Chains A and B, each alone.
Chain A
């Protein structure tokens, strides 16, 4: 196998990966796209194994079989509601793999043919290697923290301590200094010190970020895993890795941008953290404002007699695992001749597209599910807006009250529907700790219960 053949095969892989992403422009073409992605991966692995410098296969095959079996079992068993933490866990593996590959290249650069004329790693290689390993290490430890927060192993609340940004800055500068030192001196101690500091900084930059900002964090770590792969690609002079790294890096960056825009926050303010705990901060006493509470029977009666119902799902739907019950309820309503559609805010849930996957799992046809821009003008013509486990993304203060912390965030205009039914566990405010005026409006009825239980009760009442 000549080097040229291998490089051309990598090009074919890269094209297949681009087509895999292109396929995701519609659900119909996406399945074929995914198959192309698998084919691209198979080609990249096979031509690499066929390289003349790959001589022993036992470890390789053993590793692929063990890892592949674990991956396949996880993919089959994982609940769709757990998708955000699964993706975070997978990102951490890419990050750690990048660190390990960089370490392998450091200890055996000859195998990759990347030694300079003097028999040492060139300065350029050292810089590329350092960038790959630092970004990889940050991806690893950052994703581990994101995983533990999403899985509920630690509290989703931001962890803040005095001088946090100063400490981060110092560590960042120390890493830069170590990279420069590494360019002058190929000492393994410097290599590992740099790696360990990068692990620490990855940990520190994610702990202050609260649960509800996780869509941005998960997207950002997605992007980092791509840049780490690209960095390693430059070190190993491997075009497949460089191209894939660029694709994944820009993909994650675009998703982060979309998520930030949907929250009207700058990327920088999310990264600085401190916003968005799972539980609301203890604000001024809001308990004395009157609101209208309703029962499942009331809700069933109102919806049965409605012409058009728009359902707005949020993170509460995922927590309560209410997606299947919700669809049964919608089926029952449709039998009564009610038109029902779903409206999804870009940051509903804990990762981009989270709600769409849950509804798809409950066999909701995707052409009944609409994005914010597509459906927002329809609320004024709807008889009922049923909000299930969402809060801030419906808060009219974001539209009307310039003093509100979430002012400017695009929201779903549920308040324009004739009646608003709000399924919620309690009267507490959302993650932003802001009271929602919608709760106290005359046309709003609060259905205070666990989302799944409430929806099941409504089905019974229908």
Chain B
């Protein structure tokens, strides 16, 4: 038998992660759906890792410039997304008795 292509492993990870996402998100209370969107938005900015690699090399080229712009955009999202989520979540309070 020949070797399994690493892409197949990645596909397996992808499919299993969809299942994890499916079950975890169904357990999110509807009252927190807006914070859910804000935080998923923040974590999807983990795309910054691709931008960091592009901006990493010493010499300046087109890829590095694209990488830099992507870092700025993703950082707006990361900081903005997590902080606004924190701000929203801090407002949810139980009845004081």
Contact = CB atoms under 8 A, between A and B. Distances in A.
Contact of B79 (A14, A53, A68, A218): A68
B15 to A, nearest CB: 8
Nearest to A57: B56
A70 B80 contact: yes
A53 B81 CA distance: 29
Nearest to B71: A63
A59 B43 CA distance: 22
Given A25-B28, A53-B57, A240-B49, A34 B86 contact: yes
A263 interface: no
Contacts of B20: 18, 246-247
A238 B51 CA distance: 12
B66 A45 contact: no
Nearest to B51: A101
A56 B7 contact: no
Interface stretch (A221-229, A419-427, A440-448): A221-229
A371 interface: yes
B46 A353 contact: no
Interface string A8-32: 0010011001101110111100110
Given A93-B77, A225-B41, A229-B46, A49 B52 contact: yes
B43 A41 contact: yes
A353 B30 contact: yes
A249 B21 contact: yes
A67 B91 contact: no
Nearest to A47: B49
Given A98-B47, A101-B67, A371-B30, A71 B37 contact: no
A234 B57 contact: no
Contacts of A361: 91
Main secondary structure of the interface of A (DSSP, over half): helix
Contact of B81 (A56, A71, A236): A71
Given A90-B81, A357-B34, A30 B89 contact: yes
Interface of A: 10, 13-14, 17-18, 20-22, 24-27, 30-31, 34, 37-38, 40-41, 44-45, 48-49, 51, 53-56, 59-60, 62-72, 74-76, 78, 80, 83, 86-87, 90-91, 93-94, 96-98, 100-101, 103-105, 107-108, 111-112, 124, 218-219, 222, 225-226, 228-230, 232-234, 236-252, 254-255, 258, 344, 346, 351-354, 356-357, 360-361, 363, 365-369, 371
A31 B90 contact: yes
Contacts of A248: 21, 40-41, 43-44
Contact of A55 (B45, B56, B86): B56
14 contacts: A10-B49, A21-B28, A22-B27, A45-B52, A48-B52, A91-B41, A94-B41, A111-B57, A238-B50, A241-B49, A243-B13, A353-B32, A356-B32, A360-B88
Interface string B54-97: 11111001111011111111111111111111111111111110
B40 to A, nearest CB: 4
A230 B14 contact: yes
Contacts of A22: 24, 27
B71 A59 contact: yes
Interchain residue pairs A-B with the least CB separation, the first 10: A67-B75, A353-B33, A71-B80, A71-B79, A54-B56, A63-B71, A108-B63, A104-B54, A246-B17, A352-B33
